[in-house]
Copies of this chain bind each other. A is one copy, B any other.
Amino acid sequence: MNREEIQHWFSGLQSDICEQLEEADGLGKFINDEWQRPGGGGGLSKVLTHGKIIEKGGVNFSAVWGKAPAPVLQALKVEVTSGVEFFATGISIVLHPYSPMVPIIHMNTRYFELSDGTYWFGGGIDLTPHYINQEDASYFHRQLKNICDKHHASYYPEFKKWADDYFFLKHRNETRGVGGIFFDYLNEKDGFTKQARFDFVKDVGRAFAPLYAYYMKKNQSLPFTEKEKQWQYLRRGRYVEFNLVWDRGTKFGLETDGRTESILMSLPPQAGWEYDHKPAAGSNEEKTLSLLKKGIKWVK
């Protein structure tokens, strides 16, 4: 398949996901914001705020191209040569629910191509519960493992470890949440065809909305108090820290004149910081912190 087909598929995925999320939310509607990139291409940002369950969510599609700037090539570890053209398309999603009992979720799928003929797929999906419980985390990893196993036995263990390493706040020695899968530089090698890689990415993309709808439905009515809301603000603060300090896409976009509003759609509507907060011994907050670790086997 060529780049137009891939771009077209991602664009369709954006619509499908937004439709499914609106249905699951039951109140909120996405608004559309189309934008152009001065150097070539553009995107469509879809934003939902003040839904019934989703407080702030963004689903961004973009397809951009042009001369590859030197920092882009450096970041990709491509030897810098003048005149290289790039093409990139994909969607990225972050959803922040009102309820601290419903997790934050993120997904990104992307395709990248250079005029020298190299190309690859990348992406990831990870779950950030404000309160971690074993059952929800295991369900998430079970679904991801099922998708991965359909394509290759090496995928889940490899991409699960990659997510643990990627969605990690080094300065806190904490993972962002319960992880998920992360993958990059998938192209035709080791017996994989381009079509096989794309099929995998498609399966990940299609799984997103039903997976999050499951948590929306299951957890939206769980009771909570102001105490859980305060904890949610602190956890959202950590989400901000990850995105602004460590997330490659965010850092890179902000430093290379990306479209700021689309990049920062991932930030929560409201977040908090407290000096040296320590949860009470034996509390659910302390239990959550104890589970923000790499290497937990959520699927037995």
Q: Could you list which residues of chain A lie within 8 angstroms of chain B, going by C-beta atoms?
A: 33, 45, 47, 49, 56, 58, 170-172, 233, 237, 240-241, 244-245, 251, 254-255, 257-258, 260-261, 263-265, 267-276
Contacts and interface: CB of A to CB of B under 8 A. Distances in A.
Contacts of A268: 273
Contacts of A49: 274-275
Given A237-B267, A241-B244, A245-B251, A171 B273 contact: no
Contacts of A170: 254-255
B245 A254 contact: yes
Chain A interface mostly: mixed
21 contacts: A33-B276, A49-B274, A49-B275, A171-B254, A171-B257, A172-B260, A233-B270, A237-B267, A240-B244, A241-B244, A244-B244, A244-B245, A245-B254, A261-B276, A265-B275, A267-B273, A269-B273, A270-B270, A271-B271, A271-B272, A271-B273
Given A237-B267, A270-B233, A275 B244 contact: no
B275 A47 contact: yes
A49 B272 CA distance: 13
A25 to B, nearest CB: 16
A270 B271 contact: yes
Contact of A275 (B254, B261, B270): B261
A67 B276 CA distance: 28
A42 to B, nearest CB: 15
